[in-house]
Amino acid sequence: MKKLLLFSLILALSFPSEINAQRKKSKKNQTEETTPKPEKSKTKKYSDFVTKKTKTDDGLFKVHNTDNTYIYEIPKTLFGKEMLLVTRIKDIPAGLGGGYVNAGSKINTQVVVWEEFQDKILLKVKSYDAVANDSLPIYKSVKANNLEPILFAFDVAVQNLDSTAVLVDVTKFFTSDIQAISPLPDSYRKRYKVKRLDASRSFINSIKSYPENIEVVQDFTFDADEAPSNSSTNTITLRVNQSMIVLPEDKMMPRVYDKRVGYFSIGNVDYSSEALKADEKRYIRRWRLEPKDINAYNRGELVEPIKPIVYYLDPATPDKLKKYIKQGVDDWAKVFETAGFKNAIMAKYAPTEEEDPEFSMEDIRYSSIRYVASTTRNATGPSVSDPRTGEIIESDIIWYHNHLRSYRNRYLLETGAANPSARTLDTSAEEIGEMMRMVISHEVGHALGLPHNMAASYAYPVDSLRSGNFTQKMGIAATIMDYARFNYVAQPGDKNIRFIRQLGPYDHYAINWGYRKIPDIKNPEQEVKTLDKWIEEKGDDPVFRFGGERFDPSAQTEGIGNDQVKASTYGIKNLKIVAKNLPTWTSSQTNNYEDLTELYGELLSVWSRYVGHVSGNIGGVYEFNKKPNQTGNIYIPVSKEKQKESLAWLHKNAFETQDWLLDKNILANSKEDGYTDLMLSLQNRQLNSILNITTLKRMIDAEVIQDNYYSASDMIRDVRTGIFTEANYVRNVTLFRRNLQKSLIDKLGVLLVSKESKNTDISSIIRGELAMLNFQLTIARNRGVNRITKYHYTDCLATIKEILDPK
């Protein structure tokens, strides 16, 4: 029995331990069975990224697309190669940018390079603002002080099969909100209160690879509290095109910029110079034109270029306008013959989808003329250039649909008095086409590298613009690049007049200077002697002058002829005829007042421009760009006689009430009120032009370099006595004159307290003239004038007292 109890006790003590041991063992086995063993790292292979499902597009890079994951296969030979990355809008929501941004608008241009760094591929932005020869020691310092920003860092996915290229996933790069390639600059983000990019509504539309470039189309959708259109959606969606094109290794030799001939330019600071400072170098922007037969070219024969400049017309262009747009491009072919090139530029119709399914207006290999469905009245001629040399790579000229309406209106207003065919709202298709042709020619000029040359309209004598023989041969300005749109000088009865602008002699001269190949030249500096000679051969001939500074009255926009007083006198004489007939030519024909109201508003603007041309003489300074070996000074103030003549003209044609502009039949049928404010605003524009700090300071400075100068003191006195003429006589002051006189006092008051006039003669002159006016009006108030004139003078005196003795 004892043995049995002892055995039971031993069994009872040992059993739980076995149970626990079994439990522990069970848990251990369970852990081993349920926890997966870590796999050995598996190296990714090329076939993991390029599968049977992958669609591959071969070109500059191979682009692999697998279920909308995009992989670039970048050849190692292209690492370090400079490429141009151009961001432009492909499709745009209505109203973005206030109407001046459109499909095809360029947003950003930057030079980029792909580089290997450790296990990454870097996309870096390269700048050419500072340069140095890489063989010089200072090159290291230039690099160290101009570190290139990294736009994006990509993980290397894998190498290709023969290790000549690497694969990187670019999906995230093209679907993220990266400012450098974004279609929305900071100003738009603030304007439309953009919160964020919505990734769920943003994606890559397509990526296509071509031999020299890659084109990416993205859809970006942003949350925005104040979207420009469809505002209830709080959404802005844009379609963007990213073009990346490899830049040529055989760089075009740049041509040194010269401010005496108008060209857009690129510039940098060159630290390779042996001078005692870094050289600021500037080169013109131009297309690369190389003759097919250089020997024939050097013999003076016309030779075709290896690669001509070709523009493709937007398929969206209305059929009836295509021929005029094409002519506007083709007209420049004759100009390039002056530079020795035949068939150098041309327009072509874009291929159909059947002819070329890969053709795209956004493809950076093609230059285009875009026709934009927009109410904006404008046209532009931007281009993309190589920042290393100034070589123009591509350009997209943009025409806005409503722009022709502006030209129809201006044609009627500026030429209608002397040109019977302009006296209608239904301008003939041929004349409208001719206007469009010349606008396109103007924008092509920009795309060729030529900026505005506002001095060209000053080259022709005013009375020559009334000659049929002269205008048919020479046009109305020496270049198409001036804003000289119509001949408003020609008078009724003048015969065979050309009223619309055209290409001129300066265009031939400028293209020859910028594009003609100079033989036996190895660097840009060697060309300068010849380029100088071409300029100096023209001497002081105004036909070949370039200018455009706002202080220069001979380089004003919209002006024609070499005498602003004479030209504007002719222009206003014509405008009075038009104003008298405006209802007959508009509302009487349409049986509504819409066109009359629109044209009346534009007529006031035309009048303001004519008057403004004369105002520009007051305090004006002519600029004649020269080098020291040329005779004469660069800056010459307008003569005292011309300035005094101009101010006398302004008193008669602007500051005296222009009753002919206030046609009761037009005003009473166009707006319910604001008639007095309207006239005052027109007069104030001219008053502000001549009574501003910059103008007055130029007049004071003229005393230093001009013997017979028109002083600021004399000018302000002449303004005061002219505008307050009634105070010298027993005359009542009319409504419009009362407003103008008060405005003059206010303007003088602003000048007196201006920080810029402090410690200059300006404050002294203003204080003295206000004191004289105070004396003059005190006497005038007590003469036999009517009640409102007395009240007016009393009010003026109170204002003067507040200005001179502020409490």
Per-residue pLDDT tens over the stretch 264-317:
998 876 656 666 556 678 899 999 999 999 999 999 999 999 999 999 998 888
Tell me the CA distances in angstroms from 493 to 418, 484, 489, one per residue in order.
7, 22, 12
Closest C-alpha to 317, from 218, 404, 416 = 404
pLDDT at 488 over 80: yes
357 vs 354: CA distance, rounded Å: 6
181 against 643, higher pLDDT: 643
Q: What is the pLDDT of residues 548-560, one digit of tens each?
A: 888 999 999 999 9
pLDDT tens, 153-166?
999 989 998 989 99
pLDDT digits (tens, 9 = 90+) for 5-55: 444 444 444 444 443 444 444 444 444 444 555 554 467 889 989 999 999
For 702-735, write each residue's pLDDT tens digit: 999 999 999 999 999 999 999 999 999 989 999 9
Could you give the 3-state DSSP secondary structure of residue 714?
Answer: helix
Average pLDDT over residues 637-662: 97
DSSP for 463-512 reads GGGG-HHHHHHH-SSS-TTSS--B--S--TT--S---B----HHHHHHHH
Indicate the residue type of 277: K
CA–CA gap between residue 556 and residue 51 (Å, rounded)? 64
The DSSP 8-state label assigned to residue 341 in this structure reads B
Q: Indicate whether 240 pLDDT > 70.
A: yes
| pLDDT for position 142 | 53
Quick one: tokens of 268? 């940098």
Task: Check residue 569 and give left, alpha or beta (phi > 0: left; psi -120 to 50: alpha).
Answer: alpha
| pLDDT for the residue 183 | 86
Q: What is the mean pLDDT of residues 448-464?
A: 96
Element (H, E) at 309: strand 309-313
Strands (E), 713-802: none
Which two three-digit tokens encode residue 544? 């070949």
Whole-angstrom distance, CA of residue 650 vs CA of residue 613:
10
pLDDT in tens, 338-388: 999 999 999 999 888 899 888 887 788 889 888 876 666 667 777 889 999
Map residue 238 onto helix, strand or coil.
strand
Instruction: Tell me how far apart the alpha carbons of residues 184 and 96 are, in angstroms, rounded to a whole number.
Output: 10
Give the model's confidence band at 803: pLDDT under 50 very low, under 70 low, under 90 confident, else very high.
very high
Task: Compute the distance between CA of residue 734 and CA of residue 348 in angstroms, rounded to an integer.
Answer: 61
Range 522-539 average pLDDT: 95
Pairwise pLDDT comparison (437 vs 12), residue with the higher score: 437
Q: Show me where the domains of the chain are located.
A: 53-246, 309-638, 676-804
Instruction: Look at residue 272 in the predicted model and tell me its pLDDT.
Output: 63
pLDDT of residue 364: 86
Q: What is the pLDDT of residue 361?
A: 78
Burial class (CB in 10 A: 0-12, 13-18, 19+), 547: buried
pLDDT at 29: 47
CA distance 786 to 807: 31
Structure-token match 């090329």, residue found: 46
Q: Do the beta carbons of residue 789 and residue 741 sit within 8 Å? A: no
Tens-digit pLDDT profile for residues 210-221: 989 999 999 999
Q: 405-424 pLDDT, tens per residue?
A: 888 999 999 999 999 999 99
Residue 779, C-beta contacts closer than 8 angstroms, at least 6 positions apart: 727
What tokens were used for 645?
A: 């003549």
* Residue 763 reports pLDDT greater than 70: yes
pLDDT at 379: 72
Which residues are CB-contacts of 721 (< 8 A; sequence separation ≥ 6)? 728
pLDDT band at 149 (very low <50, low <70, confident <90, very high): confident
- Give the contacts of 652 (CB within 8 A, at least 6 positions apart): none
What percentage of the chain exceeds 90 in pLDDT?
A: 69
Question: Any residues with CB less than 8 A from the CB of 100 and at least 6 apart, and which?
Answer: 376, 378
User: Residue holding tokens 């404010």?
Assistant: 677
Given a contact cutoff of 8 angstroms between Cβ atoms, the answer to whether 390 and 256 are in contact is: no
Give residue 216's pLDDT.
94
The Cα–Cα gap between 63 and 55 comes to 8
Other residues' Cβ atoms within 10 Å of the Cβ of residue 294: 12
**143's tokens:** 């690099």
Q: What is the pLDDT of residues 104-144, one digit of tens each?
A: 678 888 999 999 998 899 999 987 765 555 655 655 565 55
pLDDT given for residue 22 in this prediction: 42
Least confident of 95-109, 448-462, 666-680: 95-109
**Taking the CB of residue 657, how many other CB atoms lie within 10 A of it?**
16
Which of 191-200, 520-529, 563-572, 602-611 shows the lowest per-residue confidence on average (mean pLDDT)?
A: 191-200
Predicted local confidence at residue 273, as pLDDT: 64
What H or E segment, with its residue span, contains residue 3?
Answer: helix 2-34
Q: Which residue has the tokens 């009574």?
A: 691
| Three-state secondary structure string covering 541-562 | CHHHCCCCCCCCHHHCCCCCCC
C-alpha 177/C-alpha 188 separation (Å) is: 14
Q: What does the DSSP assignment read for 153-189?
A: EEEEEEE-TTSSEEEEE-HHHHHS--GGG-SS-HHHH
List all residues 6 or more positions away from 791 whose beta carbon is below 8 Å from its beta carbon: none
pTM of the model: 0.87
d(C-alpha 464, C-alpha 137), whole Å:
61
> H helices then E strands: how many in the chain?
23, 23
In angstroms, rounded to a whole number, what is the distance separating the alpha carbons of residues 430 and 154?
A: 57
Please tell me the predicted confidence (pLDDT) of residue 508.
98
